[in-house]
Every structure is written in C-alpha cells, then in structure tokens.
Structure 1
Amino acid sequence: MSRFDVLTVGNAIVDILARCDEKFLVDNGIIKGAMNLIDGDRAELLYSRMGPAVEASGGSAGNTAAGVANFGGRAAYFGKVADDQLGEIFAHDIRAQGVHYRTHAKGISPPTARCMIFVTPDGERSLNTYLGACVELGPEDVEADVVADALVTYFEGYLWDPPRAKEAIVECCRIAHEAGRETSMTLSDSFCVGRYRAEFLELMRSGTVDIVFANRDEALSLYETTDFDLALDSIAKDCKLAAVTMSEDGVVIVRGDERIRIPATPIAQLVDTTGAGDLFAAGFLFGYTKGLDLETCGKLGCLAAGVVIQQIGPRPMSSLEDLAAKAGLI
C-alpha cells in the first residue's frame, strides 16, 4: 500500500493577487498571460504599484497538491521556503489543506518567493515571480521514502528555472521508477517551453516522465507548429499519456491512438484563471491514482478547473470531494 496518491514538487510561492486594467500591464512592461521572472528590486517596485491585494499560498505544484487533498486524496509536497513570515504562512496553509509537507526552511536570505499576479477584466492573469528561496531547492530536499510511497510524482516545468532543482527532479524520477511508480510534469507556460524545449522533450522521450500536462499554446510551442492535431500526434509519440487543456473548449486526453475529448465545465462567471491548469491536474491525478477511467479523470479535472476560475485565488474555497460526489464522478 502507498502512503500517498500524489507527490508534487515545485516552487513554494506566496501569491499576491490584485486586479488591474490593460493599461497597467503596458505601462509596467508586463507580458500578459505569462509568468515573468523578476528580481527583488522589480518585485518591490511592482508591489508598490499594486492596488488592493489578496495574499494566498500558491505555486503551481503546491496548488495541485492542495487540490488533490481537497478531493480527499493523499498528497505530499516538496518546496523550499525561507524562515520568515511568508515562509510560515506558506507552510501553515499547505499543511492546513491536509498536505504532507516537511521540507526544511532555508535561513532568512533569500526570502520566501512571492508572485504578484495581476488579473485583467477578462480574467486573464499575468504572473511576476521573484523566486527567492525557491532557488535553494536541491537533491538534499528529496525525501526518498515519500517519493517511493507516492503513486505519482508530479513536478512543474517552472522548476527548470532554478538550476539545482533539476537535480532534485531527476533524483525523484529515479527513485519513483525504481519503486514501480509513475512520474508526471506540467509544461507550465509557453514561455517556459520556449526556454527549455529540448530538455522537456528529452524528459519525455527518455521515459523520465510518464504523464504530461499542457495547454494548447504550450503543446504548439513544444513542437514549434501552428497545427494542433500535429502537436497532439507528436505528444502521443513522445509520452505514455498526455492531457492537453483548451480553455473553454475543454480538454483532449491523448494515449497512443486514443483521443478523448471532454467539454469544459459550465460556469456562471469567469473571475480569475489563476490555478486553472493546476487544479485540472489535481482532479485528473486524483482520479488516475484511484484507478478511474481516463474520461472520468478528465471530467474531475474540468470540474476542479471550473470551480477555481469562478473565484479569486488558486485554491478552491469549496469541497471538490462533495462536488465530485454530487456530479456522480466518485
């Protein structure tokens, strides 16, 4: 028996969310819809220019772990924070979600990472991330017993930005496969794909990664094409299983010659797309580790994504387990 359904590994970040108009993005040189890496000075400048903000523990893989736990799954998380106020907030929040988390904090410098997220009226989010203590995550933070006891180990493509994290990920994948477990990654965003295309493809083609999550833009960027069907055929050849989300058009799940298309969950109002992909992965992996069929896994992912985009912040405020039960999915 495994102790955990899903272990996620990622940048431990406290999100600071605020609304803004399109002009604010232009005036401040922010690339809309992307994750922009910034330094400490830039972080202070943008923070000083933000309007009223909401702070919440985030980070892509952290959101996924919290989502798995919200479904009633057994989740664990690796991610580095500093021994400071934001680090305490992050650790408290993720543990309060029911996620196993015991990565040791790293001093007070660099400080805990923070991401300033600007949400425009169309619900699109533009991320500006100061990685801070995240860059300190390394192989010494890998808890081998946790990796071996997790059915799936999942990590975010953003981890390819801090260099030592790559070593930690490779070690996790080695331990997972030796224990007969599976590994998974999210491509994170199209700009991240552009930076590390060759490395991501090698992770897939070498079998280091079994399951891949991407959105349409990331899949197109990965294969440097505008032909979505070609991108789907290519990703099917390069990994065992992939789920490619398409915003309001739902998701297509790809395994060999299979193409399972699932519509998006209807919503009342789009509020904030922050965390949509993270929560899709949470729902999908929760279903997958429970042995559910791929269509049901996709529906669970769409359900979770549909919930989170109707609120501010990346972690659901309602019980995904209850909503999935009411929908007859679990």
Structure 2
Amino acid sequence: MAYEGILLGMGNPLLDISAVVDEDFLKKYGIKLNDAILAEDKHLPMYEEMTKKYEVEYIAGGATQNSIRVAQWMLQIPGATSYMGCIGKDKFGEEMKKNSKLAGVNVHYYEDGTAPTGTCAVCVVGGERSLVANLSAANCYKSEHLKKPENWALVEKAKYFYVAGFFLTVSPESIQLVAEHAAAKNNVFMMNLSAPFICEFFRDVQEKALPYMDYVFGNETEARTFSKVHGWETDNVEEVALKISQWPKASGTHKRITVITQGADPVVVAEDGKVKKFPVILLPKEKLVDTNGAGDAFVGGFLSQLVQEKPIEECVRAGCYAANVIIQRSGCTYPEKPSFN
C-alpha cells in the first residue's frame, strides 16, 4: 500500500508558549483549569507576562498539527502525512516550518503578510493544562489556498482526512469542500469536537459538517456539552457517544464511529448501536508532566493505525500509547522513535 500523503490534516497552526504557572496567574486572567478558549482583549498581555515571569518553551502546536505530527512519528514513514493552515511571515512562522520539516510532515502553509503567526498560551498547573489561543494569522486561512492545484493535489492524494473542530471558527468552507470530496471518493473524513465553546457557539457549522464525519473524536466534557446543546438531557458519556454515532450520514459507505476519551477513565467507542470501553495506560501522578496535547496525541496514535487499516482495538491501543508518552513530557513532544509494537 502506498502511504505517501495518505493522511491530510487542516487546522490552526499555533506556536505553543508553554509554562508552569500558578493559580494566581490563572485567576488574574480569568482562566479555568482544563479549558480551551480563544483569547479576548483582556488576555493579550498574558503572553508577554508569561515570557517575562516564567520559564517558557516554544513548541509547534495547534490541535490538528499536533495530531498529524504524532501520527507521522508513530508511522515512521517520511511524507505519509500532509498539513495545511495559515501562518504569518515572521520568526514564529519560520520556527513552525522548521519544526514541521523535522517532524517529517509535508506542510503547505498559507503565509499571510498582514498578521503574526498564531500563538497559544499553555498554562500548566499541577500537570493540568489550560489553553488560551490567539489565532492571529491562523484565522486568515482562505479556501482559495486549498483550491490551488498544488494544494488540492494533497486532497486528491489523501485517503484519510482529519480536522480539529477549532478550524470551524476559521474556514468552514474549506472543511465542507474536503468533506464533500471525501464522501464522493469513499474516503474517510474525521473531526474532533475540540472544545465546549465549539459545540455551543459554532453549532450550525458543526452540524453542517457532522453528516460527513466518519469518525468523531472528543473528550467527556465536550461530549456532555454537545448533549446539553442538543437538548438530549443526558450526561452519560456512553449514551452521548451512541447518539452522535447515530446522527444521519451524508454517505452510506462508512458507518460513523464515535471515540470519546475520559482522562484516566476508559476510552468510549460507539459503533453499530453498541458501546465498547477500553482502559487507558495508568500513569503514577509523579510521572505526569503535563496533559497538554494528550487528546491530540491520542488521535495521532489512533490515526497511525487506522491508515494501516488495523482493527479499532489496535487504533485505541496506539492512541493510549501515544497519549501516555506525551503526558510524561512537556508539551506535545515525543522521543525520536516510538516503542509501540
């Protein structure tokens, strides 16, 4: 099987500015633990403050890009994955390009001259992370870039497509183009619920894309928010996963499978009207460095096996392995080679 360009991701490339902060810092900027939000005006000074006050690390991030990098790392096949998103023409953008090349991902960034490369403050307290994303250039992605022959060629080549829900805030038109292409070609299109605010405030575009989703990923908080928004009156993650999997589909080629992670609790997989649960690899508290990128890494590990047409059990096992590696390191980073077999 030819693996070149088999998996394509689209999303918001952000440079993670990661630091261990304190409770007071979170309070000062009104940040909740374990949340992911878009920066408002009140948050803008925090990026500067973080770099002055704490020891920060810069890591190429953004949810989709994290998942694609992890999938690429797990696959160990150069150029198996591609990625598109928008960066600025600045040093952070250059950093991002360098980072992706090293990771072996074939990136086709849209470079915007008017806005700086997007950043994401990763505030870590007691191993738990909170994300505040300042999209900047990431917000400027245009479907015109996707339609260019050299970029659309990546779409034509791919058999699997993954987009984080965050991209719904930027270019729903691009998502729709790729989703419809995937359905027409019997390819596999996948999305992530990504954050409670996406389910709440971007409900319409999310619902428009949902019929095309062959896999829906998310965590327990996002699943419960999705349920609340749709008036399902259940907090039971298994029930919610099942209901999402039974949402009508645009193409009948693939059934929809819902995969919900729950931190240290078992992964919930809903398909064919049934729910299966898979235990995660438990990690002693003292080994936990930070949970940033854990969900993205899970998806990356999962996708690395899915594109090889492995059974769902293997996909989940690889997802749990990748997440376990990532949470023992700072940010969404990994050792040179995976030890997954």
| Structure 1: gaps of 5 or more residues | 326-330
Q: Aligned residue for 1:292?
A: 310
Q: Are residue 150 (structure 1) and residue 155 (structure 2) matched?
A: no
TM-aligned CA deviation for residue 229 of structure 1: 3.1
Distance 1:250 1:16 in 2: 30
Identity of aligned residues (%): 26
Q: Aligned residue for 1:197?
A: 203
Question: What letter is aligned with 2:307?
Answer: T
User: Is this contact kept in 2: 1:245–1:251, CA < 8 A?
Assistant: yes
Question: What letter is aligned with 1:169?
Answer: I
After superposition, residues 139-218 of structure 1 pair within 5 angstroms as 139-142=143-146, 143-162=151-170, 165-204=171-210, 207-218=211-222
Q: Aligned residue for 1:100?
A: 106
Q: Aligned residue for 1:42?
A: 43
Which among 260, 268, 283 is matched to residue 267 of structure 1?
283
Which among 51, 54, 57 is matched to residue 54 of structure 2?
51
Distance 1:305 1:144 in 2: 31
Q: Are residue 67 (structure 1) and residue 70 (structure 2) matched?
A: yes
Q: Aligned residue for 1:306?
A: 324
C-alpha distance 244-217 of structure 1, shift in aligned 2 (>3 A):
same
User: Is this contact kept in 1: 2:245–2:258, CA < 8 A?
Assistant: yes
Q: Aligned residue for 1:328?
A: none
TM-aligned CA deviation for residue 2 of structure 1: 5.8
Q: Are residue 232 (structure 1) and residue 241 (structure 2) matched?
A: yes
User: Is this contact kept in 1: 2:124–2:130, CA < 8 A?
Assistant: yes
Q: Are residue 120 (structure 1) and residue 125 (structure 2) matched?
A: yes
TM-aligned CA deviation for residue 113 of structure 1: 0.2
Distance 1:315 1:250 in 2: 23
Q: Aligned residue for 1:246?
A: 262
TM-aligned CA deviation for residue 199 of structure 1: 3.3
User: Is this contact kept in 2: 1:2–1:151, CA < 8 A?
Assistant: no
Distance 1:133 1:56 in 2: 17
Corresponding residue SS for 1:17: strand
Question: What letter is aligned with 1:78?
Answer: M
Corresponding residue SS for 2:34: coil
User: Is this contact kept in 2: 1:82–1:112, CA < 8 A?
Assistant: yes
User: Is this contact kept in 1: 2:298–2:323, CA < 8 A?
Assistant: yes
Distance 2:38 2:68 in 1: 23
TM-aligned CA deviation for residue 96 of structure 1: 1.1
Q: CA RMSD in A?
A: 1.7
Distance 2:99 2:275 in 1: 37
Q: Normalising by structure 2, what TM-score?
A: 0.88
C-alpha distance 145-179 of structure 1, shift in aligned 2 (>3 A):
farther
Question: What letter is aligned with 2:261?
Answer: T
C-alpha distance 45-218 of structure 1, shift in aligned 2 (>3 A):
closer
Distance 1:242 1:4 in 2: 24
Question: What letter is aligned with 2:188?
Answer: E
TM-aligned CA deviation for residue 41 of structure 1: 7.2
Corresponding residue SS for 2:107: coil
Q: Aligned residue for 1:132?
A: 136
Q: Normalising by structure 1, what TM-score?
A: 0.91
Moved over 4 A (4+): none
Corresponding residue SS for 1:33: coil
User: Is this contact kept in 1: 2:110–2:141, CA < 8 A?
Assistant: no
Distance 1:28 1:211 in 2: 35
Moved more, 230-239 or 246-255: 230-239
